[in-house]
């Protein structure tokens, strides 16, 4: 889990005493449970990207990871993230071109507006979500297919390109989660599965011994 989520590489940076690291995006925002799945799907792999003070800190971190051969991370330097204003301007022009004076029926709102975070991270979360809209269901979201990036409460993701992603999640969910300090919750299913495998192995051994 540490390797797939990049937390092993992040721990290396923290243990090395590198200052200016705020943490992964997943740990910098809080969401209501009713929106959690939608927002985590919308954010995707960007939940694991690491926020740092500056591009100088990011460069030092990358150099350390290379020297230690500790893997790769994507860094988001706060001094270079200037996303919100540009996104807002684009959204106004796009909505005007489509005649959208208000959100369609079934639209809950912008993903960005459904996350609680310190104002210092505004551009970070604007980068993570862009102008993604959150909808009640797939039927409602399809009304904006090709116009806006959209996600539903059940985790269906519709890209502006027209691509649609949906179905079921294997295991506990999508992996990275907001407020990911609940790592124990993610490990519990794995522990349970290992116990089941251990019990099955013991049973097979007993059965094999009885047949000798």
What pLDDT score was predicted for residue 180?
46
Q: What are phi and psi of 40, to 5 degrees?
A: -70, -35
To the question of pTM greater than 0.85 for the whole model, the response is no
Beta bridge partners, 77, equal 52
What pLDDT score was predicted for residue 200?
81
What pLDDT score was predicted for residue 187?
55
Q: What is the DSSP code (8-state) at residue 145?
A: T
Q: Give 148-156's long-range contacts (Cβ < 8 A, gap of 24+).
A: 148/94, 149/42, 151/38, 151/39, 151/41, 151/42, 151/111, 152/38, 153/34, 153/35, 153/37, 153/38, 153/108, 154/37, 154/38, 155/37, 155/38, 155/41, 156/41
Question: Whose CA is closest to 6, among 176, 151, 131, 142?
Answer: 176
Residue segments in the chain with a per-residue pLDDT below the cut of 70: 1-7, 84-104, 170-175, 179-193
What pLDDT score was predicted for residue 211?
79
Query: How does pLDDT run across 144-186, given as a tens digit for each residue?
Result: 888 889 999 999 999 999 999 998 876 555 557 786 444 444 5
CA dist., res. 186 & res. 200, Å (int): 23
Dihedral of the CA atoms 21, 175, 183, 16 (nearest 10)? -30
């Amino acid at each position: 889990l540490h390797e797939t989520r990049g937390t092993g590489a992040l721990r290396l940076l923290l243990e090395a005493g590198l200052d200016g690291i705020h943490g992964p995006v997943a740990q910098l925002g809080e969401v209501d449970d009713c929106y959690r799945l939608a927002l985590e799907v919308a954010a995707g792999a960007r939940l694991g990207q690491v926020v740092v003070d500056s591009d100088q800190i990011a460069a030092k971190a990358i150099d350390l990871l290379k020297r230690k051969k500790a893997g790769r991370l994507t860094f988001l330097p706060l001094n270079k993230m200037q996303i919100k204003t540009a996104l807002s301007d684009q959204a106004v022009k796009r909505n005007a071109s489509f005649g959208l004076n208000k959100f369609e029926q079934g639209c809950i709102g912008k993903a960005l507006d459904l996350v609680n975070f310190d104002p210092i991270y505004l551009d970070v979360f604007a980068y993570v979500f862009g102008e993604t809209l959150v909808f009640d269901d797939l039927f409602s979201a399809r009304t904006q297919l090709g116009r806006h990036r959209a996600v539903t409460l059940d985790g269906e993701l519709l890209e502006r390109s027209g691509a649609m992603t949906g179905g079921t999640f294997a295991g506990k969910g999508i992996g990275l989660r907001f407020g990911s300090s609940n790592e124990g919750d993610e490990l519990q299913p794995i522990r349970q599965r290992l116990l089941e495998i251990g019990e099955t192995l013991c049973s097979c051994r007993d059965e094999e011994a009885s047949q000798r």
